[in-house]
Every structure is written in structure tokens, then in C-alpha cells.
Amino acid sequence: MFNNIYNFIYLLGLQTIRRLKKFGKRMKEVFLRPLRAVTTLIFTALIVIDKFALNTFHEITADVKSLFENTKRVLSEAKADNSSTKKIRIKNLPVYFRKMWQLYKHVFIYAGNLVLPLITFIIMLNVIFAVKDTTFALELTYNGEVIGFVKSEAVYKEARNQAVQRLQIKSGDVTADNGRQELIGNAEYSLKRVKLSQISDASAVCDSLIENSDCEITNACGVYIDGDFLCAVKNETDALALFDNILAEYKTEDDAEVSFVEDINYVQGLYPDNENTVWDAKKLSEKLSEKKSDAKYYTVKEGDTVSRIAENCSVSSADIFALNPELKENIYVGQKILVEKDVNFVQVQITKTETHTEKIKYSTVKVNTDSLYVGDSKTVVKGSDGEQTVTELVTYIDGVRVSSKEVSRVTTKEAVDEKIHVGTKRNNYYGGSQSTFSYSGAKFCWPGVGATIISSRYGRRALNGWHNGMDLCRPGGSKGAPVVAAESGRVVYVGYEGMGGNVIRIDHGNGLVTMYAHLKSGSTCVRTGQYVTRGQQIAQIGDTGYVTGAHLHFEVRVNGNRVNPAPYLGIK
């Protein structure tokens, strides 16, 4: 067995070696043939290059060598010839150069072909490096002085407008002709190539125009509010400190972001040197403490409502209630209502996170069950509200809340739904069965409003003997349904009668009396001796007395004898 395994492995090794040798030969042929071809091609190319391109170089090399040898020889002879004067040597130089040109003309041409492109390339590089950091710009000349370079005429116009506005700020400079002096004249400009670093922006040109004008100017820091100039101060630090102090008064919480509603900018530059323009810190502080507008109140007139006042004053009702926290819907004549709060010269905006708890109202789930009669219900699980913690990003302006954005809402307590069982079992109060009926030609009106189910008729019943009246109930629940007088008459009894519970009896004359039993406690709305009309409500259906569910027990008595109510109600 082991010999067989050995022989198998031996033969497998031999076959593997043979296959590898064949594969190696094939790969050698595949790679060597292209390699030989490429080598041959390169060698041929080198021969061709040497033959045609470098042949001239080889020839020129020999001639250059000869040229240098002849030049060296001529110089040696010139030095050795002491009899020749310097002038004669100089005179013979053109002759020598002419001969050299005739003998070695091709050498000079070849050298020129090599050197001239190189010199041209070097010059081109110098030009590129010299031009790349330059551009064409307008050179501005004002009052004989070059004040800068700008990319376009639009930049200059912007700079001039800035300079005019800055010098006209509360300067009081006016003329009789046009009401205002021409504080900045027009500059002259011409096209020039300049370095990029020499290009000026509108602000720098503005300062140069002002500096070269004829006005009295000073270097100061301008304070701009929403783009409008307020004043200039000598020391920018003083202005920053005043505005920072205003913000500091409102910052009471670490996470609150406090800023100005207005866009406030500080522009360092040249400004008219007069008291109307340049303020000290005290004057600026007094200005910032002023009101931009005063509060407005509305005096309530006859017939006014909050919504009508809001419409007249072009505000919303919500804004009025926000400005007047103590205000109610009921307002009175002469009452003063704040419709617009006073506005500070600069308004402070505070944005901060606030959290509050909101209730999650529980839902009521009704489940039908045949363990209860129709109209009856039972709460099996009492509902309870849940709670949520709401986080909002709230914005206040000068202490008045103006907006809010909900950030998150986390439920901390789940609401518990209220579960109510609603009865579906049909009322069968005295053991009889419910019945359907046709209704026509009634003498009386129907005493139970909506109580169209007859749960027990007049007559004998299987379980508990004779039934003296007719029981009426309403689909979906009878309790609380209105009970009306079946016919006009006088109330002869209102009170409580044992099994009948709360009872009302009405005498309609000629010995005819109707009775209404099991009435809801506290629902009686007539009294003994009162005359009632047909269809007038006298009480509500209830479940007082001996009952298993809310219904109306209706009886008709003739000369004291109980009779079947069906014919009087038009029931067949």
C-alpha cells in the first residue's frame, strides 16, 4: 500500500516538472520575442538618430576644435609679433573674422540654432514671471497726487460715494446754490500696468480721497447701526465697551445667546472733525439710552372688542394679550390697552432654551359588552393624563417673548386610556320580550322622546304577573331622555312611590289620568296643581324605584282603573 502511494507521488512529481518546463518554454517564447523586437527597434532608432541627427554634431565638433586651434594660433602669433602695433592688430581683426566666417560659417550657424532658442526661452520665462504678478489698473490722481490704483471705475465711484457720505455726515456744510458743498471733486485716472499688491479697495481709496480733500478731518471709528451712521468716536474701545455693557445687563443665564437686533458695525477711517460727528463716550451713552419710539395705548370705546382693537391697530390679538398679561376678553369702556411697546434705541435679542411640562390627554375607549343593559355603562379603568417635557428655543426682544421653536419633546409619563364598558343587552325589565310595533292614529303624543323601544307591554307576564303599564326605552341609553306630557292637563301628584320611584300623575279631565314612573332624581320640572300642555317636558327618564335599568313606565287610568296605553299611543 505504501509503495503504491509512493509511486503515485513520484509519478505526480515527474508530470508536474514536465508540465512546468513546457509552460516555461512557452512563456519564454511569449515574452522574449516582443523583448527582442523592442530591443532591435531601440537599437535601430539609436543608429538612425546617430546617423542623421548626430552626424552634424560629430562634424561640427571637429570644425569647432579646428576653429579653437586656429584662434589660439593667431593669438599666439599676434603676441609674438612685437613689431606690430596695437592699432595694426585691431585693424586686422575684421580680416580675421571674415576668414573665420568663410571657413567655419556652418559652425556659427549651428551654434546660433542652438543658442538663440535657449536665449529666447530664458527671455520668455523672465517675461512670464514679470507679468504674472502684474495687471492693468486705473491710476487715480487727485489734487495732483497719485492716491492709488483700482481695478475698475466702479470701485472708484464707490470710494467717492463713501467719502462724500462720510464728509457730509452732520457736517453742516451747505451752500446757497444747491444746499450742499461739493466736498470731494473728481479724480483723474489713466490705465497703467501695476503689481497686484498695489491694487486698492474702495475703503482705502475713500480714506485717500478724504485725506487729500480740503476738509478738516480726523482719524476715528465710525459707529453704523443698520447701515446708517450714528457718530464717530476717537477710541474704538470706548464704543465697544458701551455696547458690551448693554448686552451684559440682559445676560443672566449661561446658555443664553445675547445679541443686538440691529446690525452694528465699526468702521475705522477719516471723518469730519466737528462736534456733530465726533462724540465722546458720554454723549454716545446718552444717545443709546434714548427710546426709538414711545409706547402707544388704546382707550376702549363702546362696542370695542379685543379682536376689533387688534384690527384697528394693525396688530394681532395674540400680540395684545402678550403686551397686556392681565387683560381678559371682557374689557370695559375707558380701559387703556397697550398696543405697541416702547422701542429702545438699540434692541437686545436673547435666545435661550426653556423647558415646560405639557399634559397628554387620555383617550376614552368604549367596549361593548352584553353583561350590561342598553343605556348602561361602567368605567372599568379610570383614565389619567400623561406628561411630556417640552424643550423650546425661545427668542425675547427687550424682555418680550416674540418666537419659539420646539427642539425636543420627551414623554415622562404615559397617559392611561379610560376604558368604559357599554351595555348592549336589551332591557327586559319584567321578564317580557321587546317588541316592534306600528304607530298611527294616536290620541296622545309619545311620552318618552326618542324612547321608541317597548321593552314590556301592558298585560300578563310570565315571571312576575300582571303589568299595569307600558315600559319605554331609547336605543343607546335611556337615562336623561326627556319625558313630556302625553296630553294637556293639570298635575295632580309629584313625588316618590315605592316601586315606581319618582312619579308624576296628570289629570286630563273626564276621569282620564296618565302616570309617569321611574323618573330621574332631580329632573322633575313641574309642581302639583300646575297646568301643562301636550308635549311639554315634565321630567327625564331615570332608574328610580324597582328597576334593572333606566326606562319610562307609562300608565293610563280611566276612572281609577288601569287600562292598556297602546290604543292611546296609536299602537296596534
Quick: pLDDT tens for 186-242: 777 788 887 777 788 888 888 777 777 766 778 888 888 888 888 889 888 888 888
- Any bridge partners for residue 349, and if so which? 259, 397
Same domain, 162 and 245: no
Give the single-character DSSP code of 18. Answer: H
pLDDT at 374 over 60: no
Instruction: Report yes or no on 211 lying in a domain.
Output: yes
Instruction: Report yes or no on 221 lying in a domain.
Output: no
Residues 290-318: pLDDT tens digits?
A: 888 888 888 888 888 888 888 888 888 88
pLDDT at 431: 35
pLDDT at 177: 37
Burial class (CB within 10 angstroms; exposed 0-12, middle 13-18, buried 19+) of 113 = exposed
Instruction: Let me know how many helices (H) and strands (E) the chain has, helices first.
Output: 10, 30
Query: How much is the average pLDDT of 353-361?
Result: 90
Same domain, 379 and 507: no
Same domain, 442 and 558: yes
Instruction: Report yes or no on 222 lying in a domain.
Output: no
Q: Residue 564: give its domain's CATH number.
A: 2.70.70.10
Burial class (CB within 10 angstroms; exposed 0-12, middle 13-18, buried 19+) of 340 = middle
pLDDT at 314: 83
Domain count within the chain: 7
Instruction: Report yes or no on 457 lying in a domain.
Output: yes
Query: How much is the average pLDDT of 126-133?
Result: 66
Same domain, 367 and 277: no
Same domain, 322 and 405: no
Is pTM, for the whole model, over 0.85?
A: no
CA distance linking residue 6 with residue 521, whole number of Å: 114
CA distance linking residue 346 with residue 223, whole number of Å: 13
Phi-psi region of 109 (alpha: psi -120 to 50; beta: other; left: phi over 0): alpha
> Three cell numbers at 307?
379682536
pLDDT at 541: 94
CA distance linking residue 109 with residue 102, whole number of Å: 12
Residues 6+ apart with CB under 8 A from 400: 322, 323, 341
Q: Residue 363: give its domain's CATH number.
A: 2.20.230.10
The residue length of the chain stands at: 572
Q: Phi first, then psi: give them for residue 147, nearest 5 degrees.
A: -105, -5
Instruction: Report yes or no on 346 lying in a domain.
Output: no
**Residue numbers of the domain that contains 122:** 60-130
Same domain, 526 and 438: yes
In Å, how far from its chain's centre is CA 397?
A: 20
Same domain, 376 and 480: no
Instruction: Report yes or no on 272 lying in a domain.
Output: yes
Q: Residue 303: give its domain's CATH number.
A: 3.10.350.10
Read off the pLDDT band of 482 (50, 70, 90): very high
Question: Could you tell me if 30 and 22 are in contact, meaning their C-beta atoms sit under 8 angstroms apart?
Answer: no
| Per-residue CA distances from 69 to 46, 101, 328 (Å) | 31, 15, 121
Share of the chain above pLDDT 70, in %: 77
Query: With helix as H, strand as E and coil as C, how does 390-450 read?
Result: EEEEEEEECCEEEEEEEEEEEEEECCECEEEEEEEECCCCCCCCCECCCECCCCCCCCECC
Q: Residue 382: which of 422, 419, 415, 423 has the closest Cα?
A: 419
Give me the amino acid identity at 76: S
- Give, for 102, the enclosing helix (H) or strand (E): helix 86-103
Query: With helix as H, strand as E and coil as C, how does 106-149 read?
Result: HHHHHHHHHHHHHHHHHHHHHHHHHHCCEEEEEEEEECCEEEEE
Read off the pLDDT band of 435 (50, 70, 90): very low
Same domain, 462 and 524: yes
Looking at per-residue pLDDT, the higher value among 553 and 17 belongs to 553
Q: Phi first, then psi: give them for residue 394, nearest 5 degrees.
A: -105, 140
Of 130, 151, 181, the position where a domain reaches its end is 130
Of 185, 215, 245, the position where a domain reaches its end is 215
Same domain, 367 and 461: no
Q: Residue 332: which of 310, 299, 309 has the closest Cα?
A: 299
Looking at per-residue pLDDT, the higher value among 31 and 555 belongs to 555
pLDDT at 72: 72
Read off the pLDDT band of 539 (50, 70, 90): very high
- Average pLDDT value over all residues in the chain: 79
Same domain, 395 and 466: no
CA distance linking residue 523 with residue 76, whole number of Å: 152
- Give, for 51, the enclosing helix (H) or strand (E): none
Of 368, 394, 422, the position where a domain reaches its end is 422
Instruction: Report yes or no on 220 lying in a domain.
Output: no
pLDDT at 320 over 80: yes
Q: Alpha helices, DSSP H only, in 252-347?
A: 281-288, 306-312, 317-323
Instruction: Report yes or no on 460 lying in a domain.
Output: yes
Same domain, 151 and 253: no
Q: Phi first, then psi: give them for residue 292, nearest 5 degrees.
A: -75, -35
Burial class (CB within 10 angstroms; exposed 0-12, middle 13-18, buried 19+) of 159 = buried
pLDDT at 433: 38
Burial class (CB within 10 angstroms; exposed 0-12, middle 13-18, buried 19+) of 155 = buried
Same domain, 565 and 435: yes
